[in-house]
Chain A
Amino acid sequence: DVVMTQSPLSLPVTLGQPASISCRSSQSLVHSDGNTYLNWFQQRPGQSPRRLIYKVSNRDSGVPDRFSGSGSGTDFTLKISRVEAEDVGVYYCMQGTHWPQWTFGQGTKVEIK
């Protein structure tokens, strides 16, 4: 099974400052079709998760452009250019390449300092 490892697990950030979350996979996430299916989810306190980014760097509808995703192979990053109060929550990476076994990272908790 593919193991997804996120770091850090806790990320205190000052409002208006950038934040960066790393996600590494135990196997390459490059699919045989040439695409890389690494997705990011946000879970605000007390809410259901929602997808922010799919296929490494594509933002979902309604997701602010301060969120960006990048990476390739086994190393990926979610960046928030300027953290706002509404960004507090837990962020998960999830691989879809090695379908039909989806796996999530452990989650990274973003909080305001």
Chain B
Amino acid sequence: EVQLVESGGGLVQPGGSLRLSCAASGFTFSSYWMSWVRQAPGKGLEWVANIKQDGSEKYYVDSVKGRFTISRDNAKNSLYLQMNSLRAEDTAVYYCASMVNYYYGMDVWGQGTTVTVSS
């Protein structure tokens, strides 16, 4: 069964850092682009970052550039999102997702992990 399981969410103060992880199973992780998408409370979906199969290409939404870093470890079938200088507006459920074809968007999604930025 294809599965993505996020972890690492929690409560953090403004200006703090957090590292999200996503464990993949049931498919050849190293063959897929991977993505992080977030959803603020009561709001819609927002794409955050993407990473190529070998990690050589990374892309970010403008609002997180310079603060967030996406990475992956294909040997561990894992995706990561290092989040620094967190702001209240980063509060959201963060989903990891896989993409067979990056033009088609995300085809398998995890259950999400909640990040709350508050003092």
Query: What residues of chain A have their CB less than 8 Å away from a CB belonging to chain B?
Result: 1, 31, 35, 37, 39, 41, 43, 48-51, 54-55, 60, 90, 92, 94, 96-97, 99-107
Which 9 pairs across A and B sit closest by C-beta, in order of nearness? A100-B59, A54-B104, A96-B103, A37-B103, A102-B47, A48-B109, A107-B44, A39-B105, A104-B45
Query: What residues of chain B have their CB less than 8 Å away from a CB belonging to chain A?
Result: 37, 44-47, 50, 57, 59, 61-62, 95, 101-107, 109-112
In whole angstroms, what is the CA distance A35 to B57 when docked?
Answer: 23
Minimum distance in angstroms from A97 CB to a CB of chain B: 7
Nearest A residue (CB) for B105: A39
In whole angstroms, what is the CA distance A16 to B110 when docked?
Answer: 31
Residue of A43, A102, A107 touching B105 (CB-CB under 8 A): A102
Given the interface pairs A48-B109, A48-B110, the reply to whether A92 lies near B45 with Cβ below 8 Å is yes
B45 touches A37 (CB 8 A): no
| B residues less than 8 Å from A97 (CB atoms) | 103
Most buried by B among A37, A99, A100: A100
